Structure 1
Amino acid sequence: MDFYHFARSVVYAALKPLYRIQIIGQENFPKEGGVLLCSNHIDELDPPVVGVTAPRPVNFMAKEELFKLPILKGILPKVHAFPVKRGLSDRQALRTAISLLKEGQVVGLFPEGTRNRTGQLGKGFSGAGFFALRGGDAVVMPCAVIGPYKMFRKVTVVYGQPIDMTPYRENKAKPEEVTEVIMASIQKLLDEYHPDNKK
């Protein structure tokens, strides 16, 4: 077992009982091929929670400041994280993400760019649409994390239906347009599965 899978099993064992993690739609996740995994962002625990519930290894973008911290700078690369400057305007991060998608791997990002503790979905950065359009044959996997994170209360992770980017690529859609499609898909999951919206 490599370090990634070891760390994943340890984190899952620690978080699942604390937050009673429920996973919905995991069967929707493509078993192979490039996947751009896009989720809302409500807490700093989102990356590990999404990472351990996704059925395939996820390469997460992480803010570059984290790679300067003594312990994390050694661990983050081993769990497939790579640095990005705020705002998703980092060219090296762009090249890394696109390369990973074209190689058939999973790239995870939070299009809002920062945590939104209100529970409302914020505006997505156009970088999400840029990756989706440039990622070869990669599909987009919308994901919704429904909290809040409180001890022994349920946190739900919902994986929706993958979005085929082929029509958008063929029609030369703009990144901003594709980002809106991605955010609308995440919002749909939030609307459908958030307990406050259930009658």
Structure 2
Amino acid sequence: MKPLNRFFVFIYYFVGLIAGLLHPVSVEGMDKLPSGGALLCPNHSSDWDPVLVALNLPVNYRLHIMAKEELFHNPVLGWILRKVGAFPVSRGNNDIQSVKTAMQAIKSGDNLLMFPEGTTIRNGVGYADGLPPHAHGGVAMIGIRTGATLIPVFVDGEKKLFHRTRIIFGEPYQPQITGRHGTAEEIQQVADGVLAAAYALGGQTVGGKPLCE
């Protein structure tokens, strides 16, 4: 096993202490997580989501995070993000390099955090396009082509200072598809299903049939 990055360990505990004070978290289903090759798929309602999910996983979980490229425009923040395992994706474009990076992370035995919605969705409305929660097929495509175990994850929507946020990890799932890569329809069904399963963990309903049913 590769040794842990000391800078990452420092950030994990330092930022974790601050985040834990501002946004205390209760976690369910941690025991369901496989040790490697997992694709964690949370709903996305706040910029705090990736921080809270990552900091409430074990320090040695070896998590990579696909994050919007705008966060990397600041040289200092971009350097820190890369050091802790995040990498940029150009949303709305066919970003082949980010897909390759994501697939390599999983194939190497590490884990990947990727939001099926691709952007924050608050109160059922996406800031980018005004549409209700909707999964993009990329998360399913990466999961299928790498043989990753998909993990639906629910994160409470509204983040209030000093109010507890729930994070719930669902049942691991490996999608069944036709052939090696599946059809376009199957890929979208898998993406819709893992997003629906994530919301279902929190007692919410969106389009698509949860994978865990």
Aligned to 1:196: none
**Bigger helix share:** 1
Change (3 A) 1:143 1:82: same
TM-superposed CA distance for 1:58, in Å, is 1.5
8 Å contact from structure 1 (residues 28, 161) kept in 2: yes
| Alpha-carbon distance in structure 2 between the residues aligned to 1:100 and 1:177 | 24
Which of 59, 72, 93 matches 2:98?
A: 93
| Alpha-carbon distance in structure 2 between the residues aligned to 1:112 and 1:80 | 21
Show the 5 A alignment for 1:139-154.
139-154=149-164
Q: Which amino acid aligns with 1:5?
A: V
TM-superposed CA distance for 1:11, in Å, is 1.6
The answer on 1:48 being equivalent to 2:51 is: yes
8 Å contact from structure 1 (residues 147, 156) kept in 2: no
Question: How does the TM-score come out when normalised to structure 2?
Answer: 0.82
Change (3 A) 1:96 1:14: same
Q: Please, which runs of 5 or more residues in structure 1 have no aligned partner?
A: 193-199
Please provide the CA RMSD for this pair.
1.9
SS at 1:123's partner residue? coil
| Alpha-carbon distance in structure 2 between the residues aligned to 1:131 and 1:57 | 18
Residue identity over aligned pairs, in percent, reads: 33
The answer on 1:108 being equivalent to 2:113 is: yes
Aligned to 1:124: 135
Question: How does the TM-score come out when normalised to structure 1?
Answer: 0.87
Q: Which amino acid aligns with 1:190?
A: G
Change (3 A) 1:184 1:170: farther
Change (3 A) 1:50 1:35: same
| Alpha-carbon distance in structure 2 between the residues aligned to 1:162 and 1:11 | 28
Aligned to 1:38: 41
Instruction: Count residues with an aligned counterpart.
Output: 189
The answer on 1:183 being equivalent to 2:181 is: no
Q: Which amino acid aligns with 1:176?
A: Q
8 Å contact from structure 2 (residues 64, 85) kept in 1: yes
The answer on 1:77 being equivalent to 2:82 is: yes
Aligned to 2:21: 17
Aligned to 1:29: 33
TM-superposed CA distance for 1:88, in Å, is 6.4
| Alpha-carbon distance in structure 2 between the residues aligned to 1:88 and 1:35 | 25
